[in-house]
Amino acid sequence: MKKLGLVGGIGPESTVHYYKGIIQGFRERTGKDAYPLMIIDSLDLAEMYDLAAAKDWEIFSQRLIDSVKRLSAGGAEFAAMAANTAHIVFEKVQAESPLPLVSIVEETCKAAKKENFKKVIIFGTGFTMSSGLYTEKFLEYGIEAIVPEAEDQRAIHNIIFPNLEAGIVLPEEKEKILEIANRMIHQKGGEALVLGCTELPLIIKEEDLEVPILDTTQIHIEAILDYYMLG
Amino acid sequence: MKKLGLVGGIGPESTVHYYKGIIQGFRERTGKDAYPLMIIDSLDLAEMYDLAAAKDWEIFSQRLIDSVKRLSAGGAEFAAMAANTAHIVFEKVQAESPLPLVSIVEETCKAAKKENFKKVIIFGTGFTMSSGLYTEKFLEYGIEAIVPEAEDQRAIHNIIFPNLEAGIVLPEEKEKILEIANRMIHQKGGEALVLGCTELPLIIKEEDLEVPILDTTQIHIEAILDYYMLG
């Protein structure tokens, strides 16, 4: 059985979500009474957030590279970073990684391609929306990815931090975020909404919108499971 | 900051409980916006359960020793096994471990000693109760530890598997387990009940009994936090 190395801790809730989701999916897919082997390196979320806020991508990348190397030393045979934000420096990490990495962005693009979407909307943290994280990769797949205007980006970021991160969903914040989504669907022609942050599925559900949702975390977990199934 | 290596996956729910508990406790104790460094190696619960059931302690120990070595390779500076059952072979693992290990049994004995208990009752899985896991170590601390009769051991084990493991608490099972506890308190003079299994706090609460409870998982987490605080 292959062994997964998971770069975790950014944040811990997301790490738990991956851990439980991978175990549940593995057991469902194999139908066997067995549990997937996994090693998880949990980083300091506060430090990583500060590095991202300061745009110190050099040290930010180094923390992730060191983590993947530790996971490799601990027996991992492939790896994934359990956070969208970490993928801003994915190419850098991959270049130094001793292990193949499963990218949440690449897998989301593949999922959108499969559904034949031509134009999708990206929601995520300010880091994710302003960095071109999804927009550039989607272009390679011939899909246009649009992000909210700066003011809407700030509003979404401030709904994720601190409330959503702490699991708190306020009705007025839900109304605000759906207003932004609906406006972009109608005015810009977005055919699907990409939830590019682990916490967003807490506040935006499939039934809230007229267009489909792409839950990046779930897509990432399924891709990791595909890797396990390769044996 | 010291880095913890956690042998996890036996079982996953318990691992999540440790992970969240350590992070929460660390943040409370330090009062800083920082997260503890941790690496978790998640084993195959089904294989470990089968090895314990077959009393194949040789391979069972080897799995744990290999895990601690992987955690060490991944940068851990001290380690803990997030399961009572794993401690049946604690001495064996410790003898081969490159890292200092925090023992749930030793820490529970220290906690009982601090409270001046002379006689405690041990509840846990059949493996834990029948192996002398807690009884022998408690003797070293001058404390008598008593386990239920064979029939009661079976009843408790069968409440833990599969219901408690899946988070299911049935009223008739709660009544049964409290009946055993109360009988041992009154007939044998147990001064405290040791919950020697991560799932037992789901079904037995402090307010259910006349005597105090020693929650081994919580004691273990606090001892791990003490280690972090050493810096």
B35 contact residues in A (CB cutoff 8 A): 9, 12, 42-47
User: What does the alpha-carbon distance between residue B214 and residue B113 come to, in Å, rounded to a whole number?
Assistant: 11
pLDDT per residue as tens digits for the range A27-79: 999 999 999 999 999 999 999 999 999 999 999 999 999 999 999 999 999 99
What are B55's two structure tokens?
Answer: 């009393």
Beta pairing, strands A192-196 & A213-215: parallel
**Domains within chain B, CATH numbers bracketed:** 4-103+218-229 (3.40.50.1860), 105-215 (3.40.50.1860)
Average confidence (pLDDT) over B86-93: 97
pLDDT per residue as tens digits for the range B189-199: 999 999 999 88
Task: Give B69's Cβ-side CA count (13 Å radius).
Answer: 10
Task: Give B28's Cβ-side CA count (13 Å radius).
Answer: 9
pLDDT per residue as tens digits for the range B41-81: 999 999 999 999 999 999 999 999 999 999 999 999 999 99
Say whether A16 and B20 touch across the interface (CB within 8 A).
yes
Q: Which of B124, B193, B214, B105 is CA-nearest to residue B164?
A: B124
User: What does the alpha-carbon distance between residue B83 and residue B71 come to, in Å, rounded to a whole number?
Assistant: 16
Average confidence (pLDDT) over B90-101: 98
Whether A166 has a pLDDT exceeding 90, the answer reads no
CA distance A111 to chain B (A): 29
Do residues A12 and B27 make contact, with C-beta atoms less than 8 angstroms apart? no
Beta pairing, strands B4-8 & B78-81: parallel
ipTM here = 0.94
Say whether A33 and B46 touch across the interface (CB within 8 A).
yes
pLDDT at A35: 97
Say whether A42 and B40 touch across the interface (CB within 8 A).
yes
Residue B136 neighbours by CB distance under 10 Å: 11
A16 touches chain B (CB under 8 A): yes
CA distance A50 to chain B (A): 11
